[in-house]
Structure formats: C-alpha cells, structure tokens
Amino acid sequence: MREPDGQQATFGSWIPDSALDQPPPPGEMALLSAALLIGILLMAIQLWLLTVALELYLGGQGPRVWQLALVSGVIFLGGRGILSVLHHRSHGRRTATR
C-alpha cells in the first residue's frame, strides 16, 4: 500500500521507500533468526508441558498440574520479554534513521 508522497504502510507506521530499499544493519538478520529459533523452541517446550499436564491430570494427579502451569507461565513471560526487547530494538532503529 503506497501513499502519494512515496511512503509505504507497514504495521501501522509509515516508512519512506528509501528506508525499505536499504539492507538490514549487520547482525540484525542473525538476531531475528535466533529470536525465531528461541520462539519455536519455547513453543515446543510448552506443547510438551501441556502433554505432560494432561497425562498427569488424567492419571489422577491433579495437584501436580499447577506446577507445570507455573513453569509454562514463566516460559510465556520469557517469550513475551524477548518479543518486547525485539520490538523496542527495531523501533529505536527506525526512529534513528529518520
């Protein structure tokens, strides 16, 4: 979606076309790849925890499920923290290039 003044809409903000044509700064692709890998790993661990929790619940050991829910919540907050750091990092980089 292009605007008349030569800017493109991305995620609710306007970035000039010249900024979109530039290659990413050194190391940014590696950082995003590492973040994606960590995110996939965290989701896999949470899926495993859900499976173990269901197994324990169906086996009649309901009180132990809360421990797994707590660990899953900590993993979720860690993933949310990583997402927040990446958002702040990319937002700061965008405003510095303007």
List pLDDT tens digits, range 18-67.
666 777 788 888 888 888 898 899 889 999 998 999 899 899 888 888 88
**Block residue for tokens 């996939």:** 40
Tally of CB atoms within 10 A around 68: 19
Contact 15, 55 (CB under 8 A): no
Beta-bridge mates of residue 8: 2, 15
With 0.85 as the threshold, say if the pTM is over it: no
Interatomic CA distance for residues 88 and 9, integer angstroms: 19
Q: What angle do CA 24, 25, 26 make, to 5 degrees?
A: 115
DSSP-derived secondary structure letter, 22: S
